[in-house]
Structure 1
Amino acid sequence: MNKHIVFAICGYLFFITGFSQTKSVEELLNEIEQNNTELKGYQSFIESQQLENKSTNNLPNPQLSGYYMPFGDNITGDYTEYEISQSFEFPTVYGSRNKWNESKSQQLASAYSTKRQEVLLQAKSMLLELVFLQKQKAIETKRNAQSKQVFEQIQELFDKEQVGILDLNKAKIAWIQEQFVVKQLESDIQIQMSKLETLNGGNPIDGILSEIVLPIEIGTIENLWQDKLTKDPQLQELKTNETASLQKIKLEKNKVLPNIALGYNYQGVSGSNYSGFYGGISLPLWSSKNKVKAAEANYEYQQTNTKVITTSIYAKFQEIYNQYELMLEKFNEYQAIIGNLDSEQLLFKAYQLGEYSFMDYYLELQFYRTALDKMLQMEMELQLIQTQLLKHQL
C-alpha cells in the first residue's frame, strides 16, 4: 500500500516537473516584457518626463533685494532698505496645471503601452515562427530518415545489379537534399532564438513550447472592433491626447488671471525705520495673448486627428479580418482533404511493396509533401494574422 502511494507521488512530481519546464505563451511574453532593454529604457524616460512635468508647477524662487546708500548729502544719515518677496501665479493656475500634468502622465503611459504592444507583438510573432520551424524540422527529420532508408534499399539493389546507376544517384541526391533542408532549418531556428534572446534583453529563453495551439474562431468583426476600441493602446493614446489638449485650454484660461507677489519691506535712516508688508499684482495682458485660442485650435485638431486615425485603423483592421477569413476557408479545405491522411507513409509502404518505381514514388511524394508544407505554411500565416487582429489583447 505504502509503495503504491510513494510511486504515485513520484509519478505526480515527475509529471509536474516535466510540464514546468515548458512555459506558456503568456509566461514567455511576460519574461520578455520584464527583460526587454527598450521597454526598460522607455520606463526611465517616462519617469524623467513625469518629474520634469511636475517641476513646471513649482513656485518661482523667492527674491531678496537691498539698498545701502552712504553717498551724497546725507544730512539725516545713511539710507538702508531691503525687501524679501515671493511671487506666484493665481492659486487656481496650480491646480489646473497639476491636472494638465496628470493628463500628460496618462499620455506617457499610453505611449508606453503602445511601445509594449509593439515589442510583445514582435515577440509573439517570433515565437509562432519558431514553433513552426521546430514543427517543420520534426517533419523534415522524419523525411530525411525515409530518404536515407530508400537510398540504402536502392544501394542494395544496385549492388545486386537490379537497378541502374541513375536510380542510385537520384536516391542519393534526394537524401542529400533532405539533409540540407534539416541543416537549414536548424540554422533558421538558431537565428530565431538569437532574435528572441535580443528581445529578452540578451537573456536566454528557456521552456520554448513545441507547439502553440490558438483558437481558429475569433468572433465577429463587430465584437472584435468594440473590444479593440476599449483596449487598444494606440486608440487609447488618441483619447488621452484629446484630454490633455482640453485640459490645456482650462490652464491657459486660468493663466489670464493676475500673478501675485507678497513680501516684507524694511526702510531705515538715522535711527528711524519703517517696515511692513509688501504686495503687488502683475497683469498678464501681453504674455497670455492668443494662448487660449491656440489651445482651442489644438483641441479641435486632436479631435479631428482621432477621427481620421480611428477610421484608418478600422479600415486596416477590416482588411486584415477579411484576409483572415479567406485564408481560414482555404485552410479548412486543405485540412479536410489531407489533414488526417498520412499520404507519405502510405506511399512509402507502396514503394516498399514494389507498387511504385523510385521515380514514380518520388514524384508522388513531392506532390503530397508540397501540399502538406502549404497547409503548415497557411496554419502559421493564420496564427500570425490572428495575432495582428488580437494584438490589443496583449
Structure 2
Amino acid sequence: MKNNIILFLVTMSLSLGYSQSTIDITLIEISKNNKTILANTQYWNAQKVQYKTGNSLYNPTVEYDYLNGSPANAGNQTDFTITQSFDFPSVYGKKNALAYQLGIQADLYLRAANQELLLEAKKICIELVYRNKLQIPLTKRKEATEKWLTYFKKKLETGDGTILDVNKAEIQLLEIKKQFFENASFIAKLNEQLTSLNGGTAITLNDVAYFDVSVIADFETLEKEIEAQDYIKKTLEQDKVIAQKQIDVSKALALPKMEVGYHYQGILGQTYNGIHTGISLPLWESKNRVKLEKAKMTFAETALTDHTNEHYFEIKQLYGRYESLKSILGDYEKINQSAAPIKLLDKALSAGQISVLEYFVELNYYNATFNSYLEIEKEYFEVVVTLMKYKL
C-alpha cells in the first residue's frame, strides 16, 4: 500500500502537466510596473546628479564700499572689488573621480534592491504554483468525499448502512472543505500580492508548472559565480574604492585655497586699480578629516570580510539543502509501478474488504504523503531561485 501511494504521487504530479511556465513573464511585467523599482530608479538617478554637484567653482564675490570723508575737505573714498575663489587645482580632479565612483555605487545599490524585490516576487509565484497544484487534489478529494457521503446516506435510508459511516464521511468532508477553502483563500491573497508588486495592475498566476531548472554546477564553481555577481559584495568593495577616493579628496582639500580678482580704489580725486590675489591657509578646517576617512576605509574592509565569510556559509547551507531535496524528489521518480492507491481503496471499500474507518485512515495517510511531496517540491524550487538570485 505504501509503495502504491508513493507511485501515485509521482503519477499525479506528472498528470498535472508541465506547460511552459509563466513565472518569467510575470517577473518581466513586475519589473516594468513595480512602483518601488520605478521610485528607486528615480532616486538613484537623482543621487548621481547630486554627486556631480558641488564640484564647480565657488560663486564670485563682489564688494563695493563708499566712504564719506571727514572733515568735509578730506574727500570721499570708493572701493570696488570682484574676486573668484577656488580650491587647489588638483581638488577638482579628485572630486570628479569620487563622483564617478559614487555613481557606480548608486547603480549597484539599485541593482541589489531590484534583485531582492524580484526574488520576493518569484517566491510568491512559486508559492502560487504550489497552491494551484494543491487545489487540484483538494477539489478531487472534496468531490469524492461528497459522493461517498451521498452513497452512505442512501445505504442508511435502505437499512444497509450505519449512522457511524455517515458521521465518518461528514467529519472527513468537513476537514477537506476546511483545507479546500483555506487554500483558495491563500491563492487569492497571493494573487493580490502579485497585483500589488505589479504596481496595482491586476495580474493572476494560474499556472501549475514551475520552471525548468538548468544544470547547477558543483558547489565550488557555483559559489564563485555567485560571488562574482553578488551586488551586495560589489557595493562593499565599492565602499573601499570610495573611501580611498575620499582620502584623496581630503588630502587635496588640505592644500591652500586661492582667490584672484580685480580691485578698484578712488580717493581724493585719484584712482588705483589692479589685480587682487589671496590665499587661504588650511590650518584648522581640515583637521582630522584624513584620519576620519582612513577609519571609514578600515570599516569598509572589515564589512567586506564579514559579508564574504557569512555569504560563503549561507551559500554552502543552501547548496546542501538543494542536494538533499533533489535526492528526495529523485526517489519519487525512481518508482516504476502503475497501481493507483485511491482506486484500490475505492474498490476495496465497495467490495466490503475494508471498513469505512480503515478506508479513511488509509486515504488520510495518502493525502498527507502527497501534501508532503508538494511541499518538498515547492521548497526545492525556493532553494533553487535563492541560489540563482544572482541571475535575476
Shared fold, TM over 0.5:
yes
Q: Which residue of 2 aligns with 1:116?
A: 114
User: Relative to structure 1, is the Cα distance of residues 30 and 341 closer, same or farther in structure 2, using a 3 angstrom cutoff?
Assistant: farther
Letter matched to residue 377 of structure 1: E
Secondary structure, aligned partner of 1:268: strand
What CA distance in whole angstroms lies between the structure 1 residues aligned with 2:236 and 2:206?
36
Q: Which residue of 2 aligns with 1:225?
A: 223
Q: Which residue of 2 aligns with 1:173?
A: 171
Which residue, 230, 236, 244 being the options, matches 2:242?
A: 244
Listed one character per residue, the Cα deviations across residues 349-371 of structure 1 (whole Å, up to 9, x for unaligned) are 44334443322221211111111
After TM superposition, the structure 1 stretch with the greater mean CA deviation from structure 2, 67-76 or 182-191, is 67-76
User: Relative to structure 1, is the Cα distance of residues 326 and 340 closer, same or farther in structure 2, using a 3 angstrom cutoff?
Assistant: farther
Listed one character per residue, the Cα deviations across residues 184-240 of structure 1 (whole Å, up to 9, x for unaligned) are 111111111122222222221145433213427522111111111121211111111
What CA distance in whole angstroms lies between the structure 2 residues aligned with 1:318 and 1:338?
33
Q: Which residue of 1 aligns with 2:233?
A: 235
* Deviation of 1:347 (Å): 2.4
* Deviation of 1:334 (Å): 4.0
Q: Which residue of 2 aligns with 1:95?
A: 93
Which residue, 59, 68, 80 being the options, matches 1:82?
A: 80
Secondary structure, aligned partner of 2:121: helix
What CA distance in whole angstroms lies between the structure 1 residues aligned with 2:65 and 2:335?
99
- Whether contact under 8 Å (1:151, 1:172) holds in the other structure is yes
Secondary structure, aligned partner of 1:204: coil
- When normalised by structure 2's length, the TM-score is 0.88
Letter matched to residue 37 of structure 1: K
Secondary structure, aligned partner of 2:91: helix
What CA distance in whole angstroms lies between the structure 2 residues aligned with 1:339 and 1:79?
111
Which residue, 350, 359, 362 being the options, matches 1:361?
A: 359
* Deviation of 1:75 (Å): 4.5
* Deviation of 1:338 (Å): 8.8
Matches within 5 A, 1:167-206: 167-206=165-204
Letter matched to residue 61 of structure 2: Q
What CA distance in whole angstroms lies between the structure 1 residues aligned with 2:63 and 2:32?
53
User: Relative to structure 1, is the Cα distance of residues 216 and 357 closer, same or farther in structure 2, using a 3 angstrom cutoff?
Assistant: farther
Letter matched to residue 139 of structure 2: T
Matches within 5 A, 1:86-165: 86-165=84-163
Q: Which residue of 2 aligns with 1:259?
A: 257
After TM superposition, the structure 1 stretch with the greater mean CA deviation from structure 2, 109-118 or 215-224, is 215-224
Secondary structure, aligned partner of 2:30: helix
After TM superposition, the structure 1 stretch with the greater mean CA deviation from structure 2, 55-64 or 65-74, is 65-74
After TM superposition, the structure 1 stretch with the greater mean CA deviation from structure 2, 204-213 or 154-163, is 204-213
User: Relative to structure 1, is the Cα distance of residues 158 and 390 closer, same or farther in structure 2, using a 3 angstrom cutoff?
Assistant: same
Corresponding position: 1:275 with 2:273: yes
What CA distance in whole angstroms lies between the structure 2 residues aligned with 1:124 and 1:349?
42
Question: Can you give the 5+ residue segments of structure 2 that lack an aligned partner in the other structure?
Answer: 1-19
Letter matched to residue 392 of structure 1: Y
- Whether contact under 8 Å (1:23, 1:207) holds in the other structure is no
Q: Which residue of 2 aligns with 1:66?
A: 64
User: Relative to structure 1, is the Cα distance of residues 285 and 366 closer, same or farther in structure 2, using a 3 angstrom cutoff?
Assistant: same
User: Relative to structure 1, is the Cα distance of residues 250 and 143 closer, same or farther in structure 2, using a 3 angstrom cutoff?
Assistant: same
User: Relative to structure 1, is the Cα distance of residues 95 and 216 closer, same or farther in structure 2, using a 3 angstrom cutoff?
Assistant: closer
Q: Which residue of 2 aligns with 1:313?
A: 311
Secondary structure, aligned partner of 1:260: strand
* Deviation of 1:55 (Å): 2.1
What CA distance in whole angstroms lies between the structure 2 residues aligned with 1:181 and 1:308?
44
What CA distance in whole angstroms lies between the structure 1 residues aligned with 2:205 and 2:172?
34
After TM superposition, the structure 1 stretch with the greater mean CA deviation from structure 2, 139-148 or 66-75, is 66-75
After TM superposition, the structure 1 stretch with the greater mean CA deviation from structure 2, 292-301 or 117-126, is 292-301
After TM superposition, the structure 1 stretch with the greater mean CA deviation from structure 2, 122-131 or 30-39, is 30-39
What CA distance in whole angstroms lies between the structure 1 residues aligned with 2:244 and 2:296?
9
Matches within 5 A, 1:316-355: 316-337=314-335, 342-355=340-353
What CA distance in whole angstroms lies between the structure 2 residues aligned with 1:300 and 1:268?
57
- Whether contact under 8 Å (1:214, 1:383) holds in the other structure is no
* Deviation of 1:74 (Å): 6.0
Letter matched to residue 330 of structure 1: I
* Deviation of 1:89 (Å): 0.6
Identity of aligned residues (%): 29
After TM superposition, the structure 1 stretch with the greater mean CA deviation from structure 2, 339-348 or 45-54, is 339-348
What CA distance in whole angstroms lies between the structure 1 residues aligned with 2:74 and 2:139?
109
- When normalised by structure 1's length, the TM-score is 0.88
- Whether contact under 8 Å (1:76, 1:270) holds in the other structure is yes
After TM superposition, the structure 1 stretch with the greater mean CA deviation from structure 2, 364-373 or 147-156, is 147-156
Corresponding position: 1:299 with 2:317: no
User: Relative to structure 1, is the Cα distance of residues 159 and 80 closer, same or farther in structure 2, using a 3 angstrom cutoff?
Assistant: same
Question: Can you give the 5+ residue segments of structure 1 that lack an aligned partner in the other structure?
Answer: 1-21
Give the CA RMSD over aligned residues. 2.3
- Whether contact under 8 Å (2:21, 2:210) holds in the other structure is no
Matches within 5 A, 1:28-39: 28-39=26-37
What CA distance in whole angstroms lies between the structure 2 residues aligned with 1:338 and 1:61?
83
- Whether contact under 8 Å (2:58, 2:85) holds in the other structure is yes
- Whether contact under 8 Å (2:21, 2:209) holds in the other structure is no
Q: Which residue of 2 aligns with 1:287?
A: 285
After TM superposition, the structure 1 stretch with the greater mean CA deviation from structure 2, 195-204 or 223-232, is 195-204
What CA distance in whole angstroms lies between the structure 1 residues aligned with 2:221 and 2:378?
24
* Deviation of 1:340 (Å): 7.1
After TM superposition, the structure 1 stretch with the greater mean CA deviation from structure 2, 68-77 or 86-95, is 68-77
User: Relative to structure 1, is the Cα distance of residues 339 and 68 closer, same or farther in structure 2, using a 3 angstrom cutoff?
Assistant: farther
